């Protein structure tokens, strides 16, 4: 690799704006050094190789997938694998479960997180700092620590193996509250004051002034909530029991046993699980980097 060229890139790089969505600067300049550009594309292919290998295997018939030496491209493109996965066992149901849980968790987070963030960002009240510290403190507690007592609590309520157990405990997320609060504070106060003079109460200010202006931050926090829910593994493994209530990530590992060594089907199932997260990521990617840097936190 031409280290000199890579590093000359660095030295000419400029500081990016701190607030999300650096659309102000045109980032996608054409490459002036074709060799370096080709090298980067090659690296991208290497990094993505496991994903590509998953897709290529998913498109092979069973006998071809286990042929030796392995073939790179499928000799016969077998699109049937995807249909077979969806028809097989409970896979479609698991997929639906994950979608319901992820979407409900995102909506719940916005419903609970936006007002809380607004109160922390804009209202004055006694004990604000202490309460905010408490919210932040909840971020530092690893989920595994809460697993056993949460399981016991949900058992007492009869929530085990039901949707509420997968959704309700994740509706209040300190990361979302924190991220939105940071963003709300960047919105000029004058806009709110104008609305208040026109007779708007706090709810109207929130709905008609703050939320429309904060859509990028709302999108980014929704993305993290979605990702966390869609990809979570240990928690749904513990609180679901019946085949019908499994989420798709847990179902995937059960799928291994069920189909034994049918790797093309397994890879097709994996691709179906990975697809929603990758698609949502590609849609939101340009807003992501700086918002993450701004918060220094993860979902």
**Residue of 89, 211, 249, 258 interacting with another protein (CB under 8 A):** 249
**Residue of 103, 169, 187, 213 interacting with another protein (CB under 8 A):** 169
CB of 83 to another protein, least distance (A): 19
Exposure pattern of 158-183 as b/e (b: 16+ CB <10 Å)?
ebbbeeebbbebbbebbbbbbbbbbb
Quick check: 37 binds another protein (CB under 8 A)? yes
Quick check: 99 binds another protein (CB under 8 A)? no
Nearer to another protein, 156 or 198 (CB): 156
Element (H, E) at 284: helix 263-295
Quick check: 159 binds another protein (CB under 8 A)? no
Quick check: 166 binds another protein (CB under 8 A)? no
- Name which of residues 194 to 233 contact another protein (CB under 8 A): 202, 227, 230-231, 233
Quick check: 88 binds another protein (CB under 8 A)? no
In this structure, what token pair is assigned to residue 285? 């990617």
Rounded to the nearest 10°, the torsion over CA 254, 259, 261, 266 is -70
**Residue of 23, 44, 188, 283 interacting with another protein (CB under 8 A):** 44
Quick check: 295 binds another protein (CB under 8 A)? yes
**Residue of 86, 146, 196, 200 interacting with another protein (CB under 8 A):** 146
Q: From the centroid of its chain, how far is CA 31? A: 30
Phi/psi at 19 (5° precision) = -80, 150
Q: Which of 5, 32, 172 is nearest to 105 (CA)?
A: 172
In this structure, what token pair is assigned to residue 128? 């604000």
The residue range among 81-89, 99-107, 145-153, 191-199 that interacts with another protein, by the rule CB under 8 A, is 145-153
């Amino acid at each position: 690799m031409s280290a000199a060229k890579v590093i000359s890139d660095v030295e000419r790089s400029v500081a990016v704006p701190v607030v999300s969505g650096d659309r102000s600067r045109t980032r996608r300049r054409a490459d002036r050094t074709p060799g370096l550009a080709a090298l980067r594309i090659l690296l991208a292919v290497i990094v993505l190789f496991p994903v590509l290998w998953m897709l290529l295997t998913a498109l092979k018939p069973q006998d071809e997938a286990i042929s030796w030496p392995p073939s790179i491209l499928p000799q016969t493109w077998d699109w049937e694998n995807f249909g077979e996965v969806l028809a097989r066992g409970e896979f479609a149901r698991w997929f639906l479960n994950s979608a319901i849980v992820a979407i409900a968790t995102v909506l719940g987070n916005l419903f609970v997180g936006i007002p809380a963030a607004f109160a922390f960002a804009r209202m004055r009240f006694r004990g604000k700092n202490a309460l905010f510290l408490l919210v932040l403190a909840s971020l530092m507690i690893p989920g595994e620590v809460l697993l056993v007592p949460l399981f016991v609590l949900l058992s007492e309520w009869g929530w085990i193996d039901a949707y509420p157990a997968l959704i309700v405990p994740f509706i209040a997320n300190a990361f979302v509250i924190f991220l939105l609060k940071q963003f709300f504070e960047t919105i000029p106060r004058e806009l709110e004051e104008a609305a208040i003079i026109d007779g708007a109460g706090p709810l109207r200010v929130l709905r008609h002034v703050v939320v429309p202006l904060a859509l990028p931050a709302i999108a980014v926090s929704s993305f993290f909530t979605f990702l966390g829910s869609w990809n979570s593994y240990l928690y749904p493994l513990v609180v679901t029991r019946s085949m019908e209530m499994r989420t798709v990530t847990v179902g995937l590992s059960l799928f291994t046993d069920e189909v034994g060594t049918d790797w093309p089907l397994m890879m097709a199932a994996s691709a179906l699980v990975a697809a929603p997260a990758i698609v949502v990521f590609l849609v939101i990617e340009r807003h992501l980097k700086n918002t993450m840097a701004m918060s220094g936190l993860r979902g």
